[in-house]
Amino acid sequence: MTRLLLLATGGTIAGRAAEATQLNAYTAGVMAGDDLLAALPQLQGFADITVVQIANVDSADLLFDHWRALVGRIRDAFAADPELAGVVITHGTNTLEETAWLLQLLIDDPRPVVLVGAMRPATALSADGPLNLFQGVQVALSPEAHGHGVLVVMDGQIHGAQRVTKVATQGVGAFASPGSGPLGWVDDVGVHLSTASGSRQVPFAELALPEQWPQVAIFYGCVEPDARVLTALLEAGVEGLVFTGTGAGQLSAAERSALQAWQGKRPLMLRANRCGSGPVHGCPEDERLGLLAAGHLNPQKARVLVLLCVVAGFDRAALSARLLKLEPVN
């Protein structure tokens, strides 16, 4: 039978509440990955699924150590078993997009890696986790998913790791890929995904992840931002900074003067935006301050890219080269 690896990390999909009608008051990360599988007899006969529990946490509490463990498991499993069809990861929805993007940048294998979560705990009326997990397995086993990189399957939609983001606090249709839409969808008829075009760039395929990760902060733009906080971050020695700029990634005069006045080592810096969709373009004036444009990456994904660049020891030119290679891949 086809082999599949299921990596469980917790989240609402593994959450439990006292009552079936409780959709918000519940504890995430309670049920084990084995329990999630046992609750899905429909998967029996589909594949020989090995479950590994990486963590059992609310994804707001996910740690770099969990990321290191996930990456290590996936790389080892693909290297050790040429017959392994793919990997499915159960994950809390809050930071699922960051993990998906991290894996997209690090895992160099055409076999599918699919993340699934749930917006309702496992105990809820109309819990969405079981169908999301079932469909995640369906996608991971499908030839159509090969070569697409890391995928997110939620509410019957199949999203690519670069664009997918959580866009709503409630409701099962909480994920979208702004600007591009989902790559495809999955239902009882099958997996509807066009064939992946060509080979995919995996910029950090060889990168070993450290025990101690760098500090990369996100600074949020708004009316009269407190530039003292920005200076404090620089003084604290952050190795990377992502600006959630207003509009098309714009910084205020106060932020710019704080950057101009800074005499110390400049961290790797990216400008993203707080609009939720649309690109941030580069401009020479910002580049003189050391600020590169994040393109279509949202702030949290821009941070993941900067984190890996710092780990890899990249300078600004190397970060810029990686950014150019990302666009316009979905």
Positions touching ligand ASP (CB under 6 A) are 11-12, 28, 58-60, 92-94, 117, 119
Per DSSP, what are the bridge partners of residue 120? none
> Measured from the CB atom, is 92 or 245 closer to ligand ASP?
92
Look up residue 110 and give its amino acid.
P
> Measured from the CB atom, is 58 or 155 closer to ligand ASP?
58
Q: CA-CA distance, 74 to 83, in Å (whole number)?
A: 14
Q: Which residues contact 212 (CB under 8 A, 6 or more apart)?
A: none
Q: CA-CA distance, 147 to 144, in Å (whole number)?
A: 8
Q: CA-CA distance, 38 to 32, in Å (whole number)?
A: 10
> Measured from the CB atom, is 93 or 244 closer to ligand ASP?
93
> Measured from the CB atom, is 28 or 238 closer to ligand ASP?
28
> Measured from the CB atom, is 22 or 231 closer to ligand ASP?
22
Q: Least separation, in Å, of the C-beta of 95 and ligand ASP?
A: 6
Candidates 12, 93, 123, 165; catalytic one: 12
Per DSSP, what are the bridge partners of residue 175? 166
Q: Least separation, in Å, of the C-beta of 13 and ligand ASP?
A: 6
Query: What secondary structure letter does DSSP report for 265?
Result: P
Q: Which two tokens stand for residue 287?
A: 């580049």
Q: Are 242 and 303 in contact (CB under 8 A)?
A: yes
Q: Least separation, in Å, of the C-beta of 121 and ligand ASP?
A: 9
Q: Which residues contact 300 (CB under 8 A, 6 or more apart)?
A: 95, 97, 98, 218
CA-wise closest residue to 216 among 267, 149, 253 = 267
Q: Least separation, in Å, of the C-beta of 211 and ligand ASP?
A: 24
Helices 227-235, 253-261: inter-axial angle, 10-degree rounding: 30
Q: Least separation, in Å, of the C-beta of 252 and ligand ASP?
A: 31
Task: Look up 12 and say whether it is catalytic.
Answer: yes
Active site residues: 12
